[in-house]
Structure 1
């Protein structure tokens, strides 16, 4: 963190070109995913869900899961840069990606 900068001034970033790298950037230089609301803002800002999407299942456990995923992705990036394997991190990311995505719900009301 830059000297004299307030951590609250650090906003979410979406400039890496990859959502996985934008996720890694959420804890540098300070933790940005510090609430479910911030996680939901990140999901929308990253383009992973439409803006203002209701996610009633979002709970604090999501923060834990996203932080774990972020750590594993960070380990993969660092391992790639250092030219070494990262089997455990890769297995963790792959296990999270293996299940089928949830089925979309109807987004239209009966009146169209």
Structure 2
């Protein structure tokens, strides 16, 4: 499937409608990096990255190999969130919990571990 981006998609609803996406609530959706990683909780409750999600989904939909799951990392410098888009018709997507790399070395380590695991998965 080829996707041409001609107009800016500015809301999550627009992205979901245009690309026929649904957000999944499946707890095992992020299996690529959820095993063998420490479970750490972040003290920050608010994630201010939601405004970037529609554009991130648009970029993921335009990826050259739509037969594979696609991944993205959204960050604003303080917080980081991973996004996964499944390779299926009417694709499902989800976002990870927020990681706050500046709050502790453990958070930064976990982000790096996820990136390392993703590099192995997408090869």
* Structure with a larger share of its residues in strand: 2
* Structure with a larger share of its residues in helix: 1
| Superposed pair shares fold, TM > 0.5 | no
